Structure 1
Amino acid sequence: MNRHIYLSLLIASAAWHTVAAQDAHTDSIFRQFSLDEVVVTGTRTPKFLKDTPIQTRVISSKEIARLDATNVQDLLQQELPGVEFSYAMNQQTHLNFSGFGGQGVLFLVDGERLAGETMDDVDFTRLNMDNVERIEIVKGAASALYGSNATGGVINIITKRNKQPWTLNINGRYAKHNEQRYGGAFGLSGNHWSNMLTANYNSRDNYDVHSASNPVTRIISTVYGDKTTNLKEQLTWSPTTSFNLTGRAGYFFRETVRSAEQPERYRDFTGGLRMNWSISAQDHLQASYAFDQYDKSDYQRITRLDIRDYSNVQNSLRLLYNHTFVRGDILTIGSDLMHDYLYNTNLDGSTRKQDSWDLFAQYDWRVNEKMEIVGALRYDYFSDGDESHLTPKLNFCYKPLRNLSIRAGYGMGFRAPTLKEKYYNFDMSGIWIVEGNSNLKSEVSHNFNLSAEYTKSHYNFTASVYYNKVKNKLATSAPYFKSASDRLPYLPYANLDDYNVCGGEIGAQAKWNNGMGARLTYAYTKEQLAKDKDGHTINNQYIPAREHALNARVDYDHQFGKHYGLNVGLQGRVLSGVKNVEYKDYYDMSKGTIDVEYPAYTLWKLSLVQRFGKAVKLTAAIDNLFGYKPKYYYLNCPTTDGATFQIGMSIDIDKFFK
């Protein structure tokens, strides 16, 4: 973020936060809990975390390093209650985020969308945690700023930018099932330019798991590993302090071997160019172009042919302007244009294209030194079907005390039907004929939320409640036979009846001067399952949200002189049991459905990070500390098969010379 943006932010803050300059002790408390960190996701303008009117959870680079997570899936499960990843068919990973699936949670990297999906979710293995500055998480509908798919929330991964003359890091980790992770980052910086190059390789072998006898539905016998490679380059040119250009390029490759003769391959090519121009201390303009192509293919080892059967290509342009008024009000105006191309052998016609366009505006009104109101309105247009949508939001932040913030808001979310949902038509492994529906309407959600945050001395407390009402939920309906002669039933996409999800979260964290820290967060989620047009509850191939979830963490960090530091942490999560209506045999619909019980479970991780000088970190951890194994390895359950020991090392080579 350049100097003029910070200047604008500080001018706006000074107008009505004069108490902050007089209260250094309170400011140190905010720094202790990262509340003085600048975030952008909730409002698309830079704000201190303590001042943003939209409740935002930030996972910092220090927390990411301490947890030693490989990708965003590992990280979110350890840090957020109410988040669970399970398998969909074909062992593709599926997210449940407080009652919303992967299609209802928008994942961004530096504010940019991701192309492609696997069974309704982005490919989470693309999102590794090397070179990540922070992750900003906004729960609840955010479509007024981000458009389609932001019905349940936004997760924005912010990458690091090099600020040193040169940096060089190499790291590696080894764990059970021959899990290997290797990474490196190299950066250079001059007077007017800087770059950051990162490279990562991860692999894990297939392994077998064993269930008890008499399972009630389909079980997994082999958990498939994969091999991934990730390369990213980012180059920034800053001819002046008020203007910069950032170019980026990336390549991702993943191979999964479910069949020795025909491994599955996934690739992604990404690139873009972004301009940031501080026209004045009050006016800022951003323009960007982004390209993302996600492909799937099957590699035939005998013929050495790599046959592509899926490709999603997105080209997008964006303009974003904001103006800060004298008393601190901020006006933000933006527009996006995206061309979406989809090739899929399962589509009716194989290829489909769509153009989408939007225009949005937001006004941040500082009513007085205690009250702030933010309102936004967005218009979206989609060329396929000439569909349009108008989306509002309104948020309040009230600070009756210096260290107490009360936030409330309403947001509309929407999800436009995808080209896949409109035009799919294929035989799914002899189970049923998946049938698209070109007459689908957009899914619309209404989100109401209320939260409070209180910080005092070494303690921080949060509490929130929310209610989501979803209309025209997009999903597959009940399978049916069109005629008595049909060999397979049809599984149509449809708009289901109203779906509701409500819940709340309470959290407490503490940081003491002796190096001890602790966090405890509990989440409650209650879903009302959607029904089809005939009033039948839809069987769900994805596990519903677990009603109760608890995440806990305690750690100790101390620096013993210049040459040795230590961090010891214990973190865990507890999830309640849940029932799901599933088909007893997907290959024989006549056997009907059955209630599958997924029991409560708990997973804990004990970690040790040792710092040797400034340059070397040695990590060791025992994941699944108490060796949890499910009785039945259904699709929607943890695939843990006992405790896992991990050991790794990270070396900042440049720090040997500083």
Structure 2
Amino acid sequence: MILNKKFLTVYFIFFYVVILSAQEKIKDSTNVEVLEEVVITAESNVMSLSKKLFTVNTIKRKDIENVAGNTLADVLFNNLNISINPDASNGKSTVSLFGLDGQYVKILIDGIPIVSDNGVGNNIDITQINLDDVERVEIVEGSMGVLYGDNAVAGVINIITKRGLKDNGWELQLALQEESVGNEFEFFDKGRHIQNFKVTNQVNDKLSYSIGASKNDFAGFYNTYKGPNYVNIQDGAVVNDGLRGTEWNPKEQITTSLNVDLDLGKHNLFYKLQYFNEDLEIFNSSVNGRYEDGRLNPTALDKNYNTNRWVSNLNASGSLIGDTKYNVSLSYQNQKRNYKEYVYNILDQETESVQTDAVSQSSNIWYSKAFVNNIIPNSEIFNFQLGYEFTNQTGFDAISTGNYSNDVVKNTITNYELFSITEFKINKKLSLNPGTRFTHSSQFNNHLIWSLSSTYDFTEKLKLKAVVGSAYRAPNFEELFFYFVDSNHNVRGNPDLQPEDGISIFVNLKDSYKINKNTYLKTGFNTFYIDLNDAIASVTTEDEDGRVLFTQDNIDYSKRLGFTLDNNFIYKNWNIGLGATYLGTTNAINKSLNNTSDYLWALNLQTSINYQIEKWNTNISSQLKYNGKTQGVFNDNNGELFIGETDAYTWLNASIKSNITPKLSTTLGVRNLLDVVDINTGISAGAHSASTSTSRLIGNGRSFFLKLTYNLNFNTNKK
């Protein structure tokens, strides 16, 4: 279901005009906490220079609980400039920010990038990131290459772990969540079933630890499919009608974690150990209708992917001399994905034989980052930060060898990086922050990443930020080394790929208004421009034998231009958000197709409403996002490129969270209230026929959920 675009536009404009016409701007020297800018608080004590550089949006713990968020995918969708890109075939969901996909967005846990199938911190499957022990999620918008290295072109998503309790003692938390998948639900067999357990012990004022476990069982989305045990038998023969299996593949995820926080006064140590396991089933819709011993014995060749990930992070921070601070992080991460291909006996409902059982992907990551901040603490006009970053990734993807076997091709990429950010306080209103990062890679030439940031405070509440700098992205493992060639496939990476580079510009103007005693408005306007040279894109060419080859190459350029207006209106127990983004994209491929417009444009709108009923300890919330039509470059049935469109759609969630007792709370809600399942993409525009249109799955229908949470506290403080 898609809401009328004109209606939505009028609604948003009317809403904004009403608020502006009602406001009365009042000069007030008192800071309003609800409008205060949030920075990367897990690092704010040692990264004071970064506070002024970027626009930061925060998803707080209460926001996560209001929508019963279990994974990162559950909570990111309502961010104005973020899009979620689900893939029904492999169950993965990645993010795009400002129209740039997950390769340009770095995802961190407590400032440390996460290992993924083909990189470090980028193109992460956000359904694999559990939020049970998360305090908040902070989304930093803007090219952050100087602070976070390559591939932080569009921004950074930093997931911050909750540390300890307010008082000494124990806290036990149990949660049970049942959720339908569309209109499908059965205990254990259909729907989504989640169980969480966490225990925290604040031993004393200095030491705390927590242990937690979560199970997320997604039974798949059947839609028109009929499950793994379905077979169509007519007149004693199997009829392949393509209905076996599921539309979205089922998967089960288990996450366990151990967190230890030690406060030593001037120094702090934090250790995180996490284990993740995912079991993904892929059912073949094609059935082999064979006979054995005079009996029909239908089978199917199914697949299973099992992923195991270990994360071990250690962070130390504190004071060196006076106000000079240090921060050191060390991390070892390991991920292996096992591939199994097996013959499933449909009538007997059991595995008949295993054809392949091998490790299909492996990554080992050693990572370290350290920096010293506020090096000249007594200076009122000059300061700077120095640091290093080291990353070593070794691994393989067995499909890159053309088969699943022990004969794999291992590759290693090692980065050594030094960075510095300087702060010049020109006067009380104006500051300049130049920054540089030197990166040496075992795969590519040495490179210098740079940025220049500036802030100007017109008043205490009216502030202008501007950031101009490098837009640098290095190719990942898959783009470099992928190789899969047989009679039906000719897909290869390109080891000669070069990193992308270019320039990014982000400008943010924000203001805060106090309309009256109980009414506040925070409004912000952003404009951004990203110009990537040697942009990496999927291309179609010929191999050495004249066959059609699908590979990657550096095209001439890729550009993004956009404008964002975001507002937050607070009145007593009401909190209303309203925003819009107008985004244009262009690249060299567009030009080669004689595109009539320099940019292909798209409009996104979002609004959120929260109402707190204090008397009942209840919060009612709703989030609506309109994703407008987008234009892009697609392949037609003959492999030719053309400019087409992807349909607009609207996504609406709603929920009610109530604290029934001080220990027991419940959350009841619905996701995808407008029942969006798929949209048309690649619709022909002009010369090509409508046969180029395909359907893209983006949701699994209107889903209802109920979550029960039980908290039990044992306070051991002695009075």
TM > 0.5 fold call: yes
Task: Give the aligned partner of residue 611 of structure 2.
Answer: 556
Q: 1:492 offset after TM fit, Å?
A: 2.4
Matches within 5 A, 1:461-480: 461-480=523-542
Residue 527 of structure 1, aligned match among 581, 585, 591:
585
Q: Does 1:319 align with 2:370?
A: yes
C-alpha separation between the residues in 2 aligned to 1:48 and 1:336? 18
- Secondary structure at the residue paired with 1:313? strand
Matches within 5 A, 1:277-426: 277-299=318-340, 300=342, 302-303=353-354, 306-323=357-374, 324-327=376-379, 329-347=382-400, 350-385=409-444, 387-426=445-484
Task: Give the aligned partner of residue 66 of structure 1.
Answer: 66
Task: Give the aligned partner of residue 707 of structure 2.
Answer: 648
Closer, same or farther in 2 for the Cα pair 1:600/1:469, shift >3 Å?
Answer: same
Q: Does 1:257 align with 2:281?
A: yes
- Confirm or deny: 8 A CA contact 1:98 1:545 kept in the other structure: no
- Secondary structure at the residue paired with 2:472? strand
Task: Give the aligned partner of residue 56 of structure 1.
Answer: 56
C-alpha separation between the residues in 2 aligned to 1:24 and 1:173? 47
Residue 243 of structure 1, aligned match among 243, 259, 267:
267
Task: Give the aligned partner of residue 547 of structure 1.
Answer: 602
Task: Give the aligned partner of residue 75 of structure 1.
Answer: 75
C-alpha separation between the residues in 1 aligned to 2:550 and 2:657? 50
C-alpha separation between the residues in 2 aligned to 1:296 and 1:521? 40
Q: Using the TM superposition, name which of 171-180 and 474-483 deviates more.
A: 474-483
Residue 507 of structure 1, aligned match among 566, 575, 585:
566
- Secondary structure at the residue paired with 1:223? coil
Task: Give the aligned partner of residue 188 of structure 1.
Answer: 201
C-alpha separation between the residues in 2 aligned to 1:557 and 1:204? 31
Closer, same or farther in 2 for the Cα pair 1:60/1:360, shift >3 Å?
Answer: same
Q: 1:461 offset after TM fit, Å?
A: 0.4
Task: Give the aligned partner of residue 608 of structure 1.
Answer: 656
C-alpha separation between the residues in 2 aligned to 1:42 and 1:657? 30
Q: Which amino acid aligns with 1:568?
A: I
C-alpha separation between the residues in 2 aligned to 1:151 and 1:38? 19
- Secondary structure at the residue paired with 1:547? strand
Q: Does 1:226 align with 2:251?
A: yes
- Confirm or deny: 8 A CA contact 1:82 1:525 kept in the other structure: no
Q: 1:372 offset after TM fit, Å?
A: 2.1
- Secondary structure at the residue paired with 1:403? coil
- Pairwise CA RMSD: 3.1
Matches within 5 A, 1:117-128: 117=117, 121-128=123-130
Closer, same or farther in 2 for the Cα pair 1:635/1:619, shift >3 Å?
Answer: farther
Q: 1:95 offset after TM fit, Å?
A: 2.6
Task: Give the aligned partner of residue 217 of structure 1.
Answer: none
C-alpha separation between the residues in 1 aligned to 2:679 and 2:318? 58
C-alpha separation between the residues in 2 aligned to 1:304 and 1:425? 22
- Confirm or deny: 8 A CA contact 2:617 2:660 kept in the other structure: yes
C-alpha separation between the residues in 2 aligned to 1:290 and 1:346? 28
Q: 1:431 offset after TM fit, Å?
A: 5.0
C-alpha separation between the residues in 2 aligned to 1:326 and 1:265? 54
Q: 1:110 offset after TM fit, Å?
A: 0.5
**How many percent identity over aligned positions?**
17
Q: Which amino acid aligns with 1:242?
A: K
- Secondary structure at the residue paired with 2:399? coil
Q: 1:490 offset after TM fit, Å?
A: 1.6
Q: Which has the higher Rg, Structure 1 or Structure 2?
A: 2
Task: Give the aligned partner of residue 346 of structure 2.
Answer: none
Closer, same or farther in 2 for the Cα pair 1:174/1:479, shift >3 Å?
Answer: farther
Q: Alpha-carbon deviations, 1:286-322, whole Å to 9, x = none? A: 2221011122111355449852110111101222111
Q: Which amino acid aligns with 2:196?
A: G
C-alpha separation between the residues in 2 aligned to 1:48 and 1:66? 33
C-alpha separation between the residues in 2 aligned to 1:632 and 1:531? 22
Q: Using the TM superposition, name which of 226-235 and 51-60 deviates more.
A: 51-60
Q: Alpha-carbon deviations, 1:180-201, whole Å to 9, x = none? A: 1111221112233211222111
Closer, same or farther in 2 for the Cα pair 1:203/1:339, shift >3 Å?
Answer: same
Q: 1:581 offset after TM fit, Å?
A: 3.6
Q: Does 1:176 align with 2:238?
A: no
- Confirm or deny: 8 A CA contact 1:482 1:490 kept in the other structure: no
Closer, same or farther in 2 for the Cα pair 1:94/1:133, shift >3 Å?
Answer: closer
Q: 1:112 offset after TM fit, Å?
A: 0.5
Point out where structure 2 has 5 or more consecutive residues left out of the alignment: 1-25, 182-190, 226-244, 284-300, 343-350, 402-407, 515-519, 682-692
Q: Using the TM superposition, name which of 648-657 and 73-82 deviates more.
A: 648-657
Closer, same or farther in 2 for the Cα pair 1:481/1:383, shift >3 Å?
Answer: closer
Q: 1:261 offset after TM fit, Å?
A: 4.1
Q: Which amino acid aligns with 1:172?
A: L
Q: Alpha-carbon deviations, 1:539-597, whole Å to 9, x = none? A: xxxxx99711111011210321xxx4011112110111224443345xxxx46456654
C-alpha separation between the residues in 2 aligned to 1:89 and 1:330? 51
C-alpha separation between the residues in 1 aligned to 2:133 and 2:695? 31
Q: Alpha-carbon deviations, 1:402-431, whole Å to 9, x = none? A: 111111120212112233322222128x65
Q: Which amino acid aligns with 1:326?
A: N
Q: Using the TM superposition, name which of 497-506 and 256-265 deviates more.
A: 256-265
Q: 1:473 offset after TM fit, Å?
A: 0.9
- Confirm or deny: 8 A CA contact 1:95 1:102 kept in the other structure: yes
- Confirm or deny: 8 A CA contact 2:389 2:417 kept in the other structure: yes
Q: 1:481 offset after TM fit, Å?
A: 4.4
- Confirm or deny: 8 A CA contact 2:68 2:707 kept in the other structure: no
C-alpha separation between the residues in 2 aligned to 1:647 and 1:640? 19
- Confirm or deny: 8 A CA contact 2:255 2:274 kept in the other structure: yes
C-alpha separation between the residues in 2 aligned to 1:598 and 1:381? 40
- Secondary structure at the residue paired with 1:125? helix
Closer, same or farther in 2 for the Cα pair 1:628/1:656, shift >3 Å?
Answer: farther
- Secondary structure at the residue paired with 1:103? helix
Q: How many residues align?
A: 605
